[in-house]
Structures are given as C-alpha cells and as structure tokens.
C-alpha cells in the first residue's frame, strides 16, 4: 500500500508540475492572463503559474519566413502575370501580437498577398522586371506600417518570380529583336556619317595640294599590283587628260 500511495503522490506531483512549472527559452516570451485578463509578459527562465487561475500563451520572437503564394496580378499596362514573394518578419511586442490580432501569422500572410497585388498592379511590366529592388522596398514599407499595431516588424520582402504566359514571352522577344535591329541601323548610319565627313576632309586636302593627288594615284597603283587578279584596271589621272587635251588644241590652232 505504501508503494501505491507513493506512486500516486509522484504522479500527482508530476501532473501538478506540468501545469504549474514552465521553462522559457531565450527567444520565447509568455503572455500571462489572470482570470481572463492580461496580467504580464514573462521572460526566459523558469516560471510558475496557478492552475485554473492563470493561463499562458507562448510567443516565439525569432524571425519567421512567410512564403507568399503565387498571385495573379494585372499590371498597369494590362499584362497578366503570376508573382510570388517571401516575407521575413518577427514579433517585437508579444502583448500586441496576442491581444490585437487573433492569429498574427495568418493575418500577416493575408496582408502580404493583398499588398502584393495592389502595389504591383500600379506598375508596368517593365518596372516589375527592372526595378525589383524598389518594389521590394515599397512592399516592405507598407507591410511594416500595417503590422506595427500587431507588434510585428517586417524586415525584408523579396519578390521571387514574375512569370509570364508564352504569348507574352514571344512578344517581348520580338520587341527585343526589333530594338537590337534599330540600334544596329543607328550605329551603321552613324558610321556612314563619320566616314563621309572624313572623305570630305580628305577631298579638301587633295584639292588644295595637286601633288597629293598624284601621290594617292601612285599608292593606288601599288595596291593594285599587289592584288592577285587576272584583270587590272589602270586609272588615268584627270591631270594627264587635261594636259593631253591642251596639247591637242595647241596643235590644232597651229
């Protein structure tokens, strides 16, 4: 009988300890209620509660990762895209996180989804693809302001993927190809303009110095002689034709 009584006593003590003694880790806080009313927030270490009179809710203060499900977003330029993101947040005020909202994790998730659709819907597709850091900062700022009343700090928001349908991908590829062709034509036109300006400058120099024209003619002859061609055309300088014409007119007049 003594052993049975001893066993019952140990069982009762363990059961009582389960409901009375609580151990909190460094990153945990306990929100304590006394007969249903908020009493205090207790910190890490060993804590004792009165069963039936005091109740406690544990709150984890570590940074949590919230994966925002893929959202269908209509951009400002009427392009349908699928966007998902990830949110990093943590509880700063355990009292507010328990008293001000029923489920702060679910509330933050729903708020992140609606904010993602509303903010991205105000921007064009090009801005979604090229200005992702700015959009991340805008999302973080808006979420942080709304969750402040819940005692939650949103530290980072990252847009992970912006998915387009196949027709839009092909349209963007055609647009990029057209842009590359346009730039190539502009570069070629600028090259032709620069070449024409240099040729005009060379023509002015040759017109002022007839000897330079003769030297250019001799250089051209050297270049032709080095080419492996069965047919060679010898250009005749205009000066020779003019001199020959003057000589013929003199003989005719004589």
Does residue 12 have a pLDDT over 60? yes
Does residue 172 form part of some domain?
A: no
Does residue 171 form part of some domain?
A: no
Q: Are residues 55 and 79 in the same domain?
A: no
Does residue 187 have a pLDDT over 90? no
Closest residue by Cα to residue 140 from 88, 201, 94? 88
Using the 3D structure, point to which of 60, 76, 96 is the last residue of a domain: 60
Does residue 170 form part of some domain?
A: no
Does residue 185 have a pLDDT over 60? yes
Q: Which pLDDT band, with edges at 50, 70 and 90, does 130 fall under?
A: confident
Using the 3D structure, point to which of 137, 164, 191 is the last residue of a domain: 164
Does residue 184 form part of some domain?
A: yes
Pick 232 or 22 by higher pLDDT.
22
Q: Are residues 156 and 189 in the same domain?
A: no
Q: Are residues 55 and 144 in the same domain?
A: no
Q: Which pLDDT band, with edges at 50, 70 and 90, does 225 fall under?
A: low
Does residue 131 form part of some domain?
A: yes
Pick 199 or 98 by higher pLDDT.
98
| pLDDT tens digits for range 110-120 | 999 999 999 98
Closest residue by Cα to residue 11 from 56, 53, 47, 3? 3
Using the 3D structure, point to which of 99, 132, 164 is the last residue of a domain: 164
Measured at the CA of 131, the angle between CA 126 and CA 134, to 5 degrees, comes to 140
Q: Are residues 44 and 107 in the same domain?
A: no
Does residue 148 have a pLDDT over 90? yes
Q: Which pLDDT band, with edges at 50, 70 and 90, does 226 fall under?
A: low
Does residue 169 form part of some domain?
A: no
Q: Are residues 227 and 184 in the same domain?
A: yes
Q: Are residues 160 and 222 in the same domain?
A: no
Write the CATH number for 74.
Answer: 3.30.479.30
Say how many domains are in the chain: 3
| pLDDT tens digits for range 76-97 | 888 888 899 999 999 999 999 9
Instruction: Supply the range of the domain harboring residue 13.
Output: 2-60
Strands 54-60 and 64-74: unpaired
Pick 206 or 181 by higher pLDDT.
181
Pick 51 or 214 by higher pLDDT.
51
Does residue 170 have a pLDDT over 70? no
The pLDDT of residue 43 is 84
Does residue 210 have a pLDDT over 70? no
Encoded tokens for 163 = 């998915």
Q: Which long-range contacts link 92-95 to residues 24+ away (Cβ below 8 Å)?
A: 92/61, 92/151, 92/152, 92/153, 93/151, 94/29, 94/30, 94/31, 94/41, 94/59, 94/61, 94/151, 95/31, 95/38, 95/41, 95/151
Q: Are residues 152 and 79 in the same domain?
A: yes
The pLDDT of residue 52 is 80
Sign of CA dihedral 181, 186, 191, 192: positive
Q: Are residues 68 and 152 in the same domain?
A: yes
Provide mean pLDDT across the span 16-30.
82
Does residue 219 have a pLDDT over 90? no
């Amino acid at each position: 009988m003594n052993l049975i009584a001893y066993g019952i006593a140990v069982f009762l003590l363990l059961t009582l300890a389960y409901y009375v003694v609580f151990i909190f880790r460094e990153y945990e806080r306990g929100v304590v209620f006394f007969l249903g009313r908020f009493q205090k927030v207790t910190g890490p270490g060993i804590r004792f509660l009165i069963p039936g009179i005091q109740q406690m809710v544990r709150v984890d203060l570590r940074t949590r990762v919230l994966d925002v499900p893929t959202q269908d977003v209509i951009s400002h330029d009427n392009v349908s895209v699928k966007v998902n993101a990830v949110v990093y947040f943590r509880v700063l005020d355990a009292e507010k996180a328990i008293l001000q909202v029923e489920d702060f994790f679910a509330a933050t998730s729903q708020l992140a989804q609606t904010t993602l659709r509303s903010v991205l819907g105000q921007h064009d597709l090009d801005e979604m693809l090229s200005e992702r850091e700015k959009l991340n900062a805008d999302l973080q700022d808006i979420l942080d302001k709304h969750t402040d009343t819940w005692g939650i700090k949103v530290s980072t928001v990252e847009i992970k993927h912006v998915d387009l349908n196949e027709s839009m991908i092909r349209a963007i590829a055609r647009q990029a190809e057209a842009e590359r062709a346009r730039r190539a034509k502009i570069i070629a036109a600028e090259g032709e303009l620069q070449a024409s300006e240099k040729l005009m400058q060379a023509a002015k120099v040759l017109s002022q110095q007839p000897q330079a024209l003769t030297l250019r003619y001799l250089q051209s002859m050297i270049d032709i002689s080095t080419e492996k061609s069965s047919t060679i055309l010898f250009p005749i300088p205009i000066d020779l034709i003019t001199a020959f014409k003057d000589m013929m007119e003199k003989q005719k007049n004589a």
